[in-house]
Structure 1
């Protein structure tokens, strides 16, 4: 904990030589680029033994209880879970509390322990430049879960956006798989933060497209004219589901999204912004509903 006592902002370098980062797409990843603003985390003390880590967009590093989708192959387990960005639902929300523990005799080396003692870990996938993942692992080797703390001078740290307002019903905002590219130190470039990039932008309604899956999980293409849409203002999954129930006049469905040919239940809030999104409604009585993870 003493490593964070006098630090306002830090970079966290993994045992792989990569830096924990939150790119602009809302994912949590790690990469070799040291200088992007997404690799700097504001340290927020939370009691004597814990901290919260706030990214440059005002969202916090959080651990879920959802199995990690490693290499997009769905091979994660309950002991290897996703790490995402989100907002605490209350000051003591332990999903966003990290307990730093010094690792070995190295001065700036530590592990970050989340809920249930799971350790924050950076890992490569089958394609190291494409499938970089950050997980919380139960029973992980501390050496493979170690992070080197690099204190960032205030002059070089971009101020984070204002934290999300209270009352957020679903805490997490994104589970998109990280897609950062490996960059050699020679290719690293300093990035400047402008006022336009740092200040929050006004929210606006986004277009929601939705369709109902067939019994076997098949879904018509967008060009077939069976999709419906509406404008939705907000990020709450609870509010979105309520609106879908009003639009469809039924409640017996699971809200899903597509990843390739597979359907996955939506369990997190919508990401920030107003980019349109597509959702698939899977009827609970259908055959495909039994296979949803």
Structure 2
């Protein structure tokens, strides 16, 4: 609960570096990279004499774990915005700390999950219990405090890090402002602390390269898109990049390729990534596909 300690409003950032967003149909929720939108702001309500919270969207509706299946035959259930006539357990979430992240568990044991992979899974939000190793991190969220309760004591950084209450009195919120807004892009350490540093300051993010990726069909064709999915990747290991892309796409046993600028054909990445941090565009194909078996992949790019 220390992640939400004295929080009045928060933003939740998923493992895919996207924010939990209340869609303007006032019913659906999804993930979006734009953290500055008011639709990514969730008001926190504490349930008396319990360790659960309610999260209310900018449309004055509660984040709700519904009983509706997201896809027929799949275990994940839809997460919606609702305003029930009676405040029941479907709108209650138990924060469970996991390092610098938090899991949000329903009263029935499922977790708020940010999905990746291909449409219709991409950017969707469900509640489920992840069984695959590649999707374990999809239930982890970073909590960004965007507004705090006025006049409430704040926990010290040491008490948050240790998970125990500080013995020394916590500083009071300055009375000059009714709320303090923080940058929506916080580091993992800062997002686990209710309020530190100067308001509006933006901490430095870890260095890394941006990986833009597409998923090809059996023949190596991809859908052209203006806004390709992407993530920040640290390191030069091709093996680690393959693991990361399997997490992002939800696919197993993949080949990571690049497209030749001369003839447009795909060729597999076989060595370490370039030593600099320049952005890359890669194409993911299944190893069982025609293109991966060598029909369209030359041994060396022309």
TM superposition score normalised by structure 2: 0.46
Structure with the larger helix share: 1
Of structures 1 and 2, the larger Rg is shown by 2
TM superposition score normalised by structure 1: 0.47
Greater RCO, 1 or 2 (C-alpha within 8 Å, sep 6+): 1
